A and B are shown apart, each in its own frame.
Chain A
Amino acid sequence: MQKPISHNSDEVSIDDLLRLKRSEKPNRQFWDQFDHELHQRMLQTLVKKESWYLQVWNRLTSINSLTQIAGLTAAAVVVSLFLIGPSKEPTLVTSSPLEDTLMSPDFSSEVMVEADYDTDAIFVRDALKIEQGVDFDQDYTTDIIQLAQNQSSDYSADSIPVRAAFGQTGIASLVF
């Protein structure tokens, strides 16, 4: 593992000098003090209560990650249905009548924008049905589902980098 000390006549190499650093060692008293202090600090660590957000985080991370993602996604869908649903319904029903909307010159562009936002074929088909004067409620329902799906997928995608970032700032931050 190590090159031996150069026994060649009077030679003294840099390796020989550096190896002398091994002689700088603390005495027995130092280690007794060290052990005592370390035990005290470790006990403090064990006793110290974790903050609530760390407790929540630890519980979340202890669950299987797939279950976690599925659970969070489902929760996001339910929450978004409750939050977004009621606010959008009166606006759509009580605003301009269907004929007005269809005759509006901006409508086609609106449809195109929404279709671009989510290129799902079903959504585009539903949007086209509105232009043809087909059931308005059907489009509304589809709209909510699209929105909810987008939100849930964004949320789960976000949660992964957040978790990774948290791990890096924690104790085992071992990036050299």
Chain B
Amino acid sequence: MTTISTTAAQELSPVENVPLSERDKDWIVVQEVQAGKVAAFDLLVQKYREHIFSVIYNMTGNRADASDLAQETFIKAFQAIERFQGKSAFFTWLYRIGINTTMSFLKKNSRRRFINYETINEEVQTNVIIERLTAKNRTEKGLLVKELQEKLNESLQKLSVKHRTVVILHEIEGLEHAEIAEITKASIGTVRSRLHYAKQQLRAYLQEYLVQ
């Protein structure tokens, strides 16, 4: 899968040898794919598969659905890459495809919802937040982590899809307001307002875990 040349991702700008931005690197790879070097698309898959999966998983709360939809996202991107003109960053374009694919899926399957959580990385056991919560609740760490995972996912699923999307992109994916605005085709003000409202809701749902 990763046998292709990675020269595109390591290139330097012809002007003053300035390292290329991620956006420029992606654009070079996209152009290679557009020129018929289909294998170069694997570079983009390797780079973004975890992000795309994470967004979709947190939107659906289902591991299997997320895997399927993430694959669908990459297939759609591959089929449409010829029409990508580089006016926006590749990752915002890809996120948009992923989010729209997921939203269509959620709309179609609004009545059929199964929860299937992802395994939690063991590193979380040493997380300072988990330490604090364990100390506060005087419970066993493993149990607390499991309980908290369920509560967090349930709370996210209670939010509307638009509010959930903004929270996931900002708090979990770490994207800027402007980037989210571009992905969701909303204004920065709308993004901020959705984020504020969503966090207010989440605070109410997760009150018992907050320490102030």
Q: Are A14 and B128 in contact (CB under 8 A)?
A: no
Verify A5–B129 contact, CB threshold 8 A: yes
B178-189 interface bits toward A, Cβ cutoff 8 Å, 1 = contact, 0 = none: 000001111000
B202 interface residue per 8 A CB criterion: yes
In contact, A34 and B70 (Cβ under 8 angstroms): yes
Decide if B49 touches A18 in the complex (CB within 8 Å). Answer: no
Which B-chain residue is minimally distant from A12 (CB atoms)? B211
Q: Is the CB–CB distance between B57 and A14 below 8 Å?
A: no
Query: B185 near A175 (CB under 8 angstroms)?
Result: yes
A2 at the interface (CB under 8 A from B): yes
Contact with B along A9-46 (1 / 0, CB 8 A): 01111111111111111110011001101110110010
In the complex, whether B29 has a CB less than 8 A from a CB of chain A is: no
A20-B184 CB under 8 A given contacts A25-B50, A26-B119, A171-B79: no
Cβ < 8 Å to A, chain B residues 190-212:
199, 202-203, 206, 209-212
A16 and B78 CA atoms in complex are apart in Å by 36
A7 at the A/B interface (Cβ < 8 Å)? yes
**Cβ–Cβ contact A174 & B96, under 8 A:** yes
With A10-B211, A175-B185 in contact, is A24–B171 under 8 Å at CB?
no
Is the pair B49, A34 in contact by a Cβ cutoff of 8 Å?
A: yes
Q: Say whether B133 faces chain A, with CB atoms less than 8 Å apart.
A: yes
Q: Does B176 contact A (CB under 8 A)?
A: yes
B103: chain A residues at CB < 8 Å are: 176
**A176–B185 contact, CB under 8 A?**
yes
B212 contacts which of A11, A174, A175, A176 (Cβ < 8 Å)? A11
Residue among B58, B129, B171 making CB contact with A12, cutoff 8 Å? B129
Q: Does B45 touch A at the CB level, under 8 Å?
A: yes
Q: Do residues A45 and B57 form an inter-chain contact, with CB atoms below 8 A?
A: no
A37 vs B156: C-alpha distance when bound (angstroms): 28
Q: Indicate if the CB atoms of A11 and B53 lie closer than 8 Å.
A: no
**Pair A174/B97 contact, Cβ less than 8 Å:** yes
B57 with A20: CB separation less than 8 A: no
Whether, in the assembled complex, B132 has its beta carbon less than 8 Å from a beta carbon of chain A, the answer is yes
- State whether A23 touches B1 (Cβ < 8 A): no
Contact in complex: B96, A45 (CB < 8 Å): no
Select one of A13, A24, A30, A173 contacting B100, CB under 8 A. Answer: A173
- The verdict on A172 contacting chain B, using a C-beta distance below 8 Å, is yes
B174 at the interface (CB under 8 A from A): yes
Chain B residues closer than 8 Å to A172, beta-carbon distance: 76, 80, 83, 97
* Bound Cα distance A37, B68 (Å): 9
Min C-beta distance of B2 to chain A, whole Å: 9
Docked-complex contact A38 and B124, CB < 8 angstroms? no
A172-B79 Cα distance, complex, nearest whole Å = 9
Residues of A117-176 at the interface with B, using a CB-CB cut-off of 8 Å, are: 170-176
Q: State the CA gap A176–B210 with chains docked (Å).
A: 33
Which residues, 39 to 90 on B, are CB-close (under 8 Å) to A? Answer: 45, 49-50, 53-54, 57-58, 63, 67, 70-71, 74-76, 78-80, 83
Selected A-B contacts with CB under 8 Å, 25 pairs: A11-B132, A11-B211, A12-B209, A14-B206, A17-B152, A18-B171, A23-B120, A23-B127, A24-B57, A24-B118, A25-B121, A26-B118, A26-B119, A34-B49, A37-B67, A37-B71, A41-B75, A42-B74, A171-B80, A172-B83, A172-B97, A174-B96, A175-B185, A176-B99, A176-B186
Given pairs A23-B120, A174-B97, 17 additional interface contacts (CB within 8 A): A13-B210, A15-B199, A17-B148, A20-B152, A21-B152, A21-B172, A24-B54, A24-B121, A26-B119, A34-B53, A38-B75, A39-B1, A41-B71, A171-B76, A171-B79, A176-B184, A176-B185
Across the A-B interface, the 4 shortest Cβ-Cβ residue pairs: A23-B124, A18-B171, A24-B118, A12-B211
